[in-house]
Amino acid sequence: MSSRSVTPASTIRVLMVEDDEDDYILAQDTLSDMTSVCVQLDWCDTFESGLQAIARGEHDLYFLDYRLGAQNGLDLLRQAAAQGCTRPVILMTGQDQGGMDLEAMRAGAADYLVKGQFTAPMLERCIRYALERARTLESLRLSEERYARACAGANDGLWDWDLQQNVLYLSSRWKEMLGFREAEVGELPEEWLSRIHPADLRAFQMALAAHLEGRTPHFEWECRVLHRDGDYRWMLIRGLAVCDLEGRRQRMAGSQSDITARKRAEEQLLHSAFHDTLTGLPNRALFMDRLGRAMTRRPGYHPNHYAVLFLDVNRFKVVNDSLGHPVGDQLLCVLADRLRQILRSCDTVARLGGDEFTVLLEDINGAEDATSLAERIYQEIALPIRIENHDIVTSVSIGVVVGPCAYERPEEVLRDADAAMYRCKSQYGLRYQIFDPALQTGALDLLSLENELRRAVERNELVVHYQPVVRVDTQHVSGFEALVRWQHPTRGLILPGEFIQAAEETGQIVPIGHWVLREACRQLQEWGRDLPEADRLWMSVNISPRQFGLRNLVQHVQDALQDHGLAANRLRLEITESTVMQDPEGSINTLEHLHSLGVNLSLDDFGIGHSSLSYLQRFPVSTLKIDRSFIHRMCERTKDLELVRVIVLLARTLGLRVVAEGVETADQRDRLNTLQCDFAQGFLFSRPLAPEAATQLLCRELLPQETGEPRRREEQPAAPYRPPGGSSSPDPGLPLPWRRVAVSLAGSAP
């Protein structure tokens, strides 16, 4: 082997492995004739020395003779490649053998030359091509290596679809991502498509077609692909189609990345953007969106009826404040579940915030569907709920709007449903209220009412009216119920139904309630002082849920009694059955404290609060006041009559007295008498009376002679009681003083 020692930088170093020195010299001569390329030619004359020289990697190019003793240049080429040689090799033979060129190429040779048949320019071009090809192959190799590393790093799977053969190559990583082993996935593109989620398939195919037809520069699609475990994984599939020279699509190749985690996070984010975190129900944004869609949906066969129900939980704040926020939260979750169960899957129930829920009913037949659902919701919500040893009974006020109306925006529908709900809340005992345009002003009034209420106590605008409670058998006055009214400077006399709920929610009920308690005690003490036998009368005062939850309630009651020198047994505190049933165990405690003062306790509005018999036995109460809704219907509905009968019987068994509220007709009174109900209260006997009128009534009751004084009209704006049948003559069944009052009231009617 010979070599030249010094080589300029641009010189190409070539090694020739050739067992015939003449051929080497010939090649040398031809190379020296080359004009634009400077070559330094080294020479090895055996297979082995050639292989060793190649292994050193000192040359840019190799000329290998085909005949090398017992072995040949092709074997040398193969062994060199096996050692990692990537430099270009040009194979040379003595004579052109058929098929040799192809075999040389397959073995990795850059070119193939027949000795004596090439000129210097041919060799020069051949060397340049070989070097250029080697450079291209090297950069391709590097690029492939980079790509493979990038794919491994990105954890992507690869696919390559031969569009001509319709065969799909899938990388092992691709298969592994979907839980498959190498041989478990076939080569058909159809098999690939069959793994795509049916709901995503059509869109995927359309996007694929768009790219193959050249309408999109890249293919990129997110879809769910079936995993071996039977679940779907979200995959981002990317690809690019490759064309031949005529522009025909030859193949399409790309990658697949698992984006399940990202998708789940997105779904979670999307869910929390449109759902209430506490109850999981849709939130306001989603509700408004669905309502907007329902409003614009084109009517099909049926007219496009929808309805919105606006629900507000009554006295929720009281539960929250007295039992704590965790209980309040659990209560809201239970209510949300109940609503979910009542509704159809096509309806939407949402939590707007706080204790407000909304319901969207779609495709309904009309208002009756909405109102019967409102009725059902009311009943389901009223069922007792047990949370952490508390039996909570709650109720809702429901405002209803039935579409289609001339609404343009969902906000308008919600505003009106809200107004109807407010109206419902202010009407004592009302379960739902359908929106009527006249309501809108009412709702606005209520807002300013709340503000003015704050100043009502200081401005002395509150008054107490007194409604007599009579013994059913003798119809003599036994006591009074103190009922608050608001003598508003511009609106006139406002009844509690219009402001008590607002006062309860804002907390104003506390000062109002204390004032009523003291005022009622003062009045009773004054009557006892001025009228003989008035000291046997008792006074009922209503205690609101919030007052009932006050820690210093007992002290307040004690102070009021002491300050007016009243015996405790003259005072009767009325607490509604639903208030005590909100937390029966806690209630027993409070009731016992009050009871230990010596005051009487009465369960007001009894029959709608779901008391259980066991609790009833444990509450230290002395009286049940049957809710007036039962009295109202007892002569028309046997069910209500039976209920009244059972309550009276139950009270008797438990040693309790019964007061029937809202007695309006002689028929009701007679039936109550037959049932042996103890006391009655109602318009039949008297409406609640202003203090002076109550005093006059007492004068007549307790001093049987005529006083001759003009009688004051009863409170405004209530109309005086007229017996059924249009007759304004007093009921002959009434004792004398009552008949006189009835005449006087009828005479002073507006």
Is residue 134 a contact partner of residue 87, using CB atoms and an 8 Å limit?
Answer: yes
Smaller CB separation from ligand C2E, 105 or 718: 718
Q: Which of residues 543-602 bind ligand C2E (CB under 6 A)?
A: 544, 574
Residue 520 C-beta: closest distance to Mg ion, Å: 12
Within 8 A by CB and 6+ apart from 547, the residues are 509, 510, 513, 514, 553
Residue 362 C-beta: closest distance to ligand C2E, Å: 37
Smaller CB separation from Mg ion, 208 or 573: 573
Contacts with Mg ion, 579-618, as mask; x by CB under 5 A: -------------------------xx-------------
From ligand C2E, Mg ion, none, which one binds at residue 513 (CB under 5 to 8 Å depending on kind)? ligand C2E
Within 8 A by CB and 6+ apart from 209, the residues are none
Residue 664 C-beta: closest distance to ligand C2E, Å: 4
Residue 660 C-beta: closest distance to ligand C2E, Å: 10
Nearest to 735 by CA among 483, 456, 539, 470: 470
Is residue 445 a contact partner of residue 422, using CB atoms and an 8 Å limit?
Answer: no
Q: Which of 505, 574, 640, 714 binds Mg ion (CB under 5 A)?
A: 574
Residue 543 C-beta: closest distance to ligand C2E, Å: 6
Which regions of 214-364 does DSSP assign to beta strands (E)?
219-226, 232-243, 249-258, 306-314, 348-353, 356-362
Q: Which of 371, 433, 542, 623 binds Mg ion (CB under 5 A)?
A: 542
From ligand C2E, Mg ion, none, which one binds at residue 16 (CB under 5 to 8 Å depending on kind)? none
Nearest to 745 by CA among 389, 119, 499, 723: 723
Here the tokens at position 301 are 């066969």
From Mg ion, ligand C2E, none, which one binds at residue 279 (CB under 5 to 8 Å depending on kind)? none
From ligand C2E, Mg ion, none, which one binds at residue 483 (CB under 5 to 8 Å depending on kind)? ligand C2E
From ligand C2E, Mg ion, none, which one binds at residue 283 (CB under 5 to 8 Å depending on kind)? none
Here the tokens at position 64 are 């290998």
Residue 631 C-beta: closest distance to Mg ion, Å: 10
Check residue 513 for interaction with ligand C2E (CB under 6 A). yes
Q: Which of 76, 377, 484, 745 binds ligand C2E (CB under 6 A)?
A: 484
The residue type at 673: N
Binding region for Mg ion (CB under 5 A) out of 45-53, 241-249, 568-576, 641-649: 568-576
Smaller CB separation from ligand C2E, 256 or 467: 467
Edge-first strand order for the sheet with 61-65 is 39-44, 12-17, 61-65, 89-93, 111-114
Q: Which of 23, 60, 661, 678 binds ligand C2E (CB under 6 A)?
A: 661
User: Which long-range contacts (C-beta less than 8 Å, at least 24 apart) are formed by 170-178?
Assistant: 174/256, 177/233, 177/235, 177/256, 177/258, 178/225, 178/226, 178/227, 178/228, 178/233
What are the residue ranges of helices labelled H in 33-163?
Answer: 47-56, 73-82, 100-107, 120-154
Check residue 664 for interaction with ligand C2E (CB under 6 A). yes
Phi and psi dihedrals of 325, rounded to 5? -65, -40
Binding region for Mg ion (CB under 5 A) out of 162-170, 486-494, 611-619, 658-666: 658-666
From ligand C2E, Mg ion, none, which one binds at residue 73 (CB under 5 to 8 Å depending on kind)? none
Nearest to 603 by CA among 667, 668, 659: 659
What is the distance between the alpha carbons of residues 512 and 454, in angstroms, rounded to a whole number?
Answer: 10
- Tokens 């006591």 belong to residue: 479
Tell me: cis bond preceding 717? Omega within 30 of 0 counts: yes
Check residue 498 for interaction with ligand C2E (CB under 6 A). no
Check residue 508 for interaction with ligand C2E (CB under 6 A). no
Residue 501 C-beta: closest distance to Mg ion, Å: 15
Give me the sign of the Cα torsion angle 92, 95, 96, 99.
Answer: negative
Q: Which of 500, 560, 641, 698 binds ligand C2E (CB under 6 A)?
A: 500
Residue 604 C-beta: closest distance to Mg ion, Å: 4
Residue 607 C-beta: closest distance to ligand C2E, Å: 12
Q: Which helix (H) or strand (E) holds 399?
A: strand 395-403
Residue 341 C-beta: closest distance to ligand C2E, Å: 31
Check residue 319 for interaction with ligand C2E (CB under 6 A). no
Residue 542 C-beta: closest distance to Mg ion, Å: 5
Residue 269 C-beta: closest distance to ligand C2E, Å: 46
Q: Which residues of 612-635 are buried (b: 16+ CB within 10 A; e: fewer)?
A: eeebbeebebbbbbbbbbbbbbbe
Q: Which of 73, 496, 607, 730 binds ligand C2E (CB under 6 A)?
A: 496
What is the distance between the alpha carbons of residues 662 and 447, in angstroms, rounded to a whole number?
Answer: 30
Bridge partners for 463 per DSSP: 485
From ligand C2E, Mg ion, none, which one binds at residue 579 (CB under 5 to 8 Å depending on kind)? none
Here the tokens at position 273 are 């953007």
Whole-Å CA distances, 508 to 316, 463, 504, 580, 744: 16, 15, 6, 20, 37
Binding site for ligand C2E (CB under 6 A): 428, 467, 483-484, 495-497, 500, 513, 516, 542, 544, 574, 604-605, 628, 661-664, 681-683, 688
> Which residues sit at the interface with Mg ion, rule CB under 5 A?
542, 574, 604-605, 661
